[in-house]
């Protein structure tokens, strides 16, 4: 059986260094906001090309904390609107709601799965204060267009980079440096994955970073002295240590993902399948390789019979979720079609040539 993702295999090459790191962690005896977090924040900021990185407990919190920080600074007010993709993962929307802001869903574009710019323009109101694109599946949104749109409408830009670690635009600027602030997840399945939950914020905004460093730690200005009401959302010291190790290999792992994607795009020949739209640049790191078909259930059964596991990212769009019932009356035809048709096939750096050939042969025989 070819698993959709084998995390033990992905992390196998780090087994010995992880063990040494854990021993060192135990011997230091500093478990919260220590040197490992500080060093990871420094190294990840340098990697992304930003002045700052602030570690958080997870990616959802990262997005929420950015917005809470802007509220503390007076740049946002409860009830302000945030433009967000209608086909994003639900965590993006939950982060907005938990910060007391209002998500305004924007229709997707059918090729890249990022914002439909015509719909984006139509969603702006007097309460719109933020635009929050998601670099879905690992492909950068059109940040040049989004930043121009934001400037014209005097909006903040906050990016959801949970799937796009290391992606670069045409000028070589990485995800995390293309907006006022950005949120990352290091959930174990991500291109840069921890061995548990973890997240981070990147930004060049000194005032924002000063606020969110306090906000993630109860709002403490100093120990036990709270400047304002914060939350507990700190990057775990041990996870930071593991992430520092894996960060060194991230570009190499992303290059392997692109090579596999190139293989798939060349070898998959089946008119029943729609393949990802990609220009071959470094703007995509292929966190997922997502195909589309109107016969998804049949295709999954066909592949399973040949020992190939798949996944669906995501089966139910946000506006159809019970948790977001207030959006149920809204219609997003392209998003709904995307969610009905998408299917993710295995793509990760440890897939063998034999496995890749087996997967493409099975897809072509459908």
Q: Looking at the chain, which residues constitute the CATH 3.90.1150.10 domain(s)?
A: 250-364
Residue 232 DSSP one-character state = B
Residue-wise pLDDT for 135-188, tens only, equals 999 999 999 999 999 999 999 999 999 999 999 999 999 999 999 999 999 999
User: What are the residues whose beta carbons fall under 8 Å from the beta carbon of 256, sequence distance 6 or more?
Assistant: 349
Q: Which residues of 148-187 are buried (b: 16+ CB within 10 A; e: fewer)?
A: ebbeeeebbbbbbbbbbbbbbbeeebbbbbbbbbbbbbbb
346 torsion bin: left (phi>0), alpha (psi -120 to 50), beta (else):
beta
The burial of 55, by beta-carbon neighbours within 10 Å (0-12 exposed, 13-18 middle, 19 or more buried), is given as buried
Query: SS3 helix, strand, coil % of the chain, rounded to 5?
Result: 45, 15, 40
Question: Token pair 């190499």 is at which residue?
Answer: 252
In the structure, what pLDDT confidence band is assigned to residue 73 with cuts at 50, 70 and 90? very high
> Stretch 319-325: mean pLDDT, rounded?
97
Residue-wise pLDDT for 209-264, tens only, equals 999 999 999 999 998 999 999 999 999 999 999 999 999 999 999 999 999 999 99
Rounded to a whole number of angstroms, the distance between the first and last alpha carbons of the chain is 18
The burial of 271, by beta-carbon neighbours within 10 Å (0-12 exposed, 13-18 middle, 19 or more buried), is given as exposed
CA 34, 35, 39: angle at the middle one, nearest 5? Answer: 125
- Residue-by-residue DSSP string for 183-227: EEE--TTSSS--SS--EEEEES-HHHHHHHHHHTBTTEEETTEES
At the second CATH level, the architecture of 7-106+113-247 is 3-Layer(aba) Sandwich (3.40)
Q: Looking at the chain, which residues constitute the CATH 3.40.640.10 domain(s)?
A: 7-106+113-247
Q: What is the CA radius of gyration of the chain?
A: 21
In the structure, what pLDDT confidence band is assigned to residue 43 with cuts at 50, 70 and 90? very high
Global confidence as pTM = 0.97
Choose the CATH number for 250-364 among 3.90.550.10, 3.90.1150.10, 3.40.605.10, 1.10.10.10.
3.90.1150.10
């Amino acid at each position: 059986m070819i698993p959709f993702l084998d995390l033990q295999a992905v992390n196998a090459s780090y087994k010995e260094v992880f063990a040494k790191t854990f021993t060192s962690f135990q011997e230091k005896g500093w478990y919260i906001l220590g040197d490992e977090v500080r060093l990871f924040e420094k190294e990840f900021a340098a990697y992304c090309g930003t002045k700052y990185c602030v570690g958080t407990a997870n990616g959802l919190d990262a997005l929420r904390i950015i917005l809470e920080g802007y509220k503390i600074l007076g740049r946002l007010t409860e009830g302000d609107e945030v433009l967000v993709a209608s086909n994003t993962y639900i965590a993006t929307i939950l982060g907005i709601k938990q910060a007391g802001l209002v998500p305004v869903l924007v229709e997707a574009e059918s090729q890249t799965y990022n914002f439909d710019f015509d719909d984006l323009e139509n969603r702006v109101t007097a309460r719109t204060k933020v635009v929050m694109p998601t670099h879905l599946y690992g492909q950068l949104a059109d940040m040049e267009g989004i930043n121009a749109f934001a400037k014209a409408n005097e909006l903040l830009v906050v990016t959801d980079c949970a799937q796009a670690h290391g992606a670069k635009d045409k000028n070589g600027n990485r995800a995390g440096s293309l907006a006022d602030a950005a949120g990352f997840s290091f959930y174990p399945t991500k291109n840069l994955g921890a061995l548990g939950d973890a997240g981070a914020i990147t930004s060049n905004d000194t005032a924002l970073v000063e606020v969110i460093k306090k906000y993630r730690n109860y709002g403490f200005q100093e120990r036990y002295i709270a400047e304002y009401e914060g939350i507990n959302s700190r990057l775990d010291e041990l996870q930071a240590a593991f992430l520092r190790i894996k960060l060194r290999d991230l570009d190499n792992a992303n290059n392997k993902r692109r090579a596999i994607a190139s293989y798939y795009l060349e070898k998959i020949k089946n008119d029943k399948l729609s393949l990802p739209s990609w220009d071959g640049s470094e703007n995509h790191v292929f966190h997922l390789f997502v195909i589309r078909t109107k016969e998804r259930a049949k295709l999954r059964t066909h592949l399973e019979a040949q020992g190939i596991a798949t996944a669906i990212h995501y089966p139910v769009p946000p506006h159809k979720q019970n948790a977001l019932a207030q959006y149920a009356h809204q219609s997003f035809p392209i998003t709904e079609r995307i969610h009905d048709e998408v299917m993710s096939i295995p793509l990760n750096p440890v897939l063998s040539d034999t496995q890749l050939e087996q997967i493409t042969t099975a897809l072509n025989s459908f």
